[in-house]
Amino acid sequence: MEKIVKIVSDGEYFNVTDTLCCGQVFRFVPHENGYFINSLDKRAFAYDERGKGVIECNASDEEYFYNYFDLSRDYKKIVYAAENSGFPVLAHSATLGKGIRILCQNEEEALISFIVSQNNNIPRIKGIIERLCKALGDKKEFYGEEFYSFPTAEKMAEMPLDFYSGIGLGYRAEYIKGVAEKIVGGWSASSLKTLSSAELRKELIGIKGVGPKVADCAVLFGFHRSDGFPADTWIEKVYKEDFNGTLTDRKKISEYFTGMFGENSGYFQQYLFYYKRTLEKKEEKAGIE
């Protein structure tokens, strides 16, 4: 049995729960007082404990998960910039959500996951991805628990279209199969790393089934381009309620924020998104003005 190592990080700028539950990733499972996190063919167990964020993984995966959780980056500077931005809602969001980190996910896994996510809810997205992995991935074990790796593009490409319909993908079935066939045909997401964010977004939108929202999510959460700013219902709500915005086109709303926040856009997006979708409701229930 391989040695298990612990990676311990300051919890002020790394909260496991907030990082996993802010909509950027779907392959995690609550377990006891923490979460199992799956990425490609690897698994870790992560939890918050006494003011620290803790990750337990196989010794051979230590570097992978250290990078996956973006632990080398100084988020104190990012939070400071948000708190001193001059926008009260952003400052408040960053103070409450300062433990959020942008995960460094595999580009192709993130792209496929966000194609699954379009017009879908989180429990259903997670269920579809889990069924995909269980059907086509390799069986693995970690801490005595079985899990399945994310399937290879080769395996996905050889499956008939009705397989994808059968696991609940609906109209997205042809998109997922199409991306897998594209990868097998020689296309590689990693080859796009040298492109500017604008060029990358354009390239991704050229893939069938990838619209502006999916492309923006892949740019930020798959390629870790911090100048990306996905705009959805919650961001539109922030824009209108807290920035007094009048635009209705989400692409323009995204451009509005990236023009204002530059390289910090993606980090600020997560603070604002998580606050508006989750933390603001908690404050309202607690009677906080």
pLDDT digits (tens, 9 = 90+) for 10-27: 989 999 999 999 999 999
Phi, psi of 42 (to 5 degrees): -120, 155
> Is the entire prediction scored with pTM above 0.85?
yes
Task: Report pLDDT for 288.
Answer: 57
Express each pLDDT in 188-231 by its tens digit: 888 898 999 999 999 999 999 999 999 999 999 999 999 999 99
Q: Is 152 left (phi over 0), alpha (psi -120 to 50) or beta?
A: beta
d(CA 258, CA 226): 10
Task: Report pLDDT for 65.
Answer: 98
Within a 13 Å sphere around the CA of 21, how many CA atoms are in the beta-carbon half?
16
Helices (H), 102-196: 107-117, 122-136, 153-157, 161-166, 173-184
266 pLDDT band (50/70/90 cuts)? very high
Task: Report pLDDT for 119.
Answer: 87
Going by C-alpha positions, the residue among 135, 128, 122, 109 that lies closest to residue 42 is 109
Express each pLDDT in 132-184 by its tens digit: 999 999 999 999 999 999 999 999 999 999 999 999 999 999 999 999 999 99
Contacts of 168 by beta carbon, 8 Å cutoff, 6+ apart: 124, 127, 128, 131
Task: Report pLDDT for 190.
Answer: 82
d(CA 175, CA 246): 33
d(CA 155, CA 32): 33
Q: Is the pLDDT at 72 greater than 90, yes or no? A: yes
Q: Is the pLDDT at 289 greater than 80, yes or no? A: no
> Any idea of the CA torsion for 56, 60, 62, 68, to the nearest 10 degrees?
-100
Q: Is the pLDDT at 280 greater than 80, yes or no? A: no
36 pLDDT band (50/70/90 cuts)? very high
